[in-house]
Amino acid sequence: MSEQIQGNAQPGDAVHPGHPVTVNRYGPWQRLNHWITATSLILLLLSGLALFTPELFFLTGLFGGGQATRSIHPWIGVVLFFSFFIFFFQLWKANLPERTDWIWVKKIKDVVGGHEERLPELGKYNAGQKFIFWGMTGLILVLIASGIIIWEQYFSTLTTIPVRRIAVLVHSIAAVLIICIFILHVYAAIWTRGTLRAMTRGTVTGGWAWRHHRKWLRQLADRRKMGPAE
């Protein structure tokens, strides 16, 4: 081959001929990790909103009351942090920006309009998915750092009251932003038919991969042709 096709393929990604063709996208541990992260985010959303405003205090009933919610919320945050960053270290290389990402952004009308034949061939992730990945990464770091500062049970003596007040404000803003990104992520997964299958079964159809991530599919097909010895 005169030029190696780069599609950000990862270990475990593979094409399986058949009717239909199927493509491995996520392994069982990656899917488990993803759902732990998603569940943690939902629990943090509910418990955080319950503590954020009296109008939503009734949500503390889901966690055993106000004191229990206040106690469990930061621990769920710790679970989220470790769960997400296990995922992060598996996927960060595949989410590095590429030149085609800027073209994808410029042609966002074609993306929304379903004219993906007008887009450049994409690797495993498009620019929207990369935005969500890096947005989540940055906001989770902000949330864990600010959360530690305001975790009075263990760290109240390490900071001053003015610092904790700033941390509460930063924590709240980051929480609102990550909720928006999470909603965007869920909407995109539902809107792009066939995407949820990747995180439930671990595979996508060959047609889905050809339409949405053709460069990635080409790399996997090329890898299969070369065989394990290559």
User: Is 34 annotated in the active site?
Assistant: no
Catalytic residue among 73, 171, 185, 213: 185
- Give the dihedral of Cα atoms 89, 94, 96, 101; nearest 10 deg: -150
Q: Write out the two tokens for 89.
A: 């270290």
**What is the C-alpha separation between 83 and 33, in angstroms, rounded?**
6
Distances (CA, A) of 194 to 2, 26, 31: 33, 14, 15
Three-state SS for the chain is: CCCCCCCCCCCCCEEECCCCCEEECCCHHHHHHHHHHHHHHHHHHHHHHHHHCHHHHHHHHHHCCHHHHHHHHHHHHHHHHHHHHHHHHHHCHHHCCCHHHHHHHHCHHHHHHCCHHHCCCCCCCCHHHHHHHHHHHHHHHHHHHHHHHCCHHHHHHHCCHHHHHHHHHHHHHHHHHHHHHHHHHHHHHHHCCCCHHHHHCCEEEHHHHHHHCHHHHHHHHHHHHHCCCC
Residues labelled as active-site residues: 185
